[in-house]
Amino acid sequence: MTITQDHAASTAANPRKLVTDEEFAGIVATVLDNNTEMSPDTAARITAEALKFVAACAAFPDERLRPSRVVDEGWHALILHTVPYARLCRSLHRFVHHVPERPDAGRHEPGALRRTMECIAAAGYEVDVTLWLPPTDETIPVAAGCEHSEPPPAGCGGDCSNTGPN
């Protein structure tokens, strides 16, 4: 799988359709609450990318996908909205679990972000590549402070950082 320009904005799936407009606005507000210096436009882009990430995780459960530090900020906000998050996962036919770990450069798998972007594109979404920065890049400062790596923690009942039992 590779990221191509085949997924033009006009033909790409719209992640905003995965939640209601009101839910999307609430998730964006949570991103902004956690990142007071961030613009509303950036928070909306991060939220949309988090929705794409969850959809790709559900579509490709065996790919061991990982969010970037920036996209993880949107995923954190999304998870806090438990009703829309649970409904989203049901609509995707798979619950996407999140188990945070403290950042550790020694655990970072460089190919994971590329693989994740490829799966987002394969799921029909246009990838906002400017949000898929390596963990050391702080071009877009966010409050998120966790990283996801292999293997999942013992006793979680599934692949905690991607998908687990429904």
pLDDT tens digits, 25-74: 999 999 999 999 999 999 999 999 999 999 999 999 988 899 998 999 99
Which structure tokens are listed for 41? 């436009």
User: According to the model, what pLDDT value does residue 105 have?
Assistant: 60
Q: Tokens 């995780």 sit at which residue?
A: 57
Q: Which tens digits make up the pLDDT trace of 147-164?
A: 555 444 433 333 334 444
Where do the domains of the chain lie? 16-131
DSSP for residue 16: G
3-state secondary structure 65-121: CCCCHHHHHHHHHHHHCHHHHHHHHHHCCCCECCCCECCCCCCCCHHHHHHHHHHHH
Structure confidence at residue 64 (pLDDT)? 84
Q: Do residues 16 and 48 lie in contact, with contact meaning Cβ atoms separated by under 8 Å?
A: yes
Assessment of whether the complete model's pTM goes beyond 0.85: no
pLDDT more than 70, % of the chain:
74
